[in-house]
Structure 1
């Protein structure tokens, strides 16, 4: 195999690996969101069947969402208090 061909293949492998990692990350995010939505909808009674790593990711997502809600509530309260009555 020529050095040029080898370099091209290595580049393609690197690009495919990066794409695969991005898809894995996106898939994990969708799995976490699905568990959250199922829990909210009452379709999931507990989290006993989830791995500790998944629970950690779930906790991070819930904390992120909680922070976003708190921030939005503060924005709405400040908008409401700045309106003249």
Structure 2
């Protein structure tokens, strides 16, 4: 099983709409580990890793996020595996 780790930022209407909790639920459903947090500039930052197919699935989900979010930009970059053991909301 090939693993992949991504980290990045989501911009748009992504705070105050359950984005972090929905991201965590989707990551857990996909069996991924990592974290998600709000930033003071209104963006959400995320870091996640696991099976390559599942990581790509979460990346695709992040393009829209949950209703009523409105994602205007998703910027993800591959990073070395971080060794996360669970997915948490920070």
Richer in strand (by share)? 2
Same-fold status (TM-score > 0.5): no
The structure with higher relative contact order (CA 8 Å, sep 6+) is 2
Richer in helix (by share)? 1
Q: If the length of structure 1 is used for normalisation, what is the TM-score?
A: 0.27
Q: If the length of structure 2 is used for normalisation, what is the TM-score?
A: 0.26
Q: Which has the larger radius of gyration?
A: 1
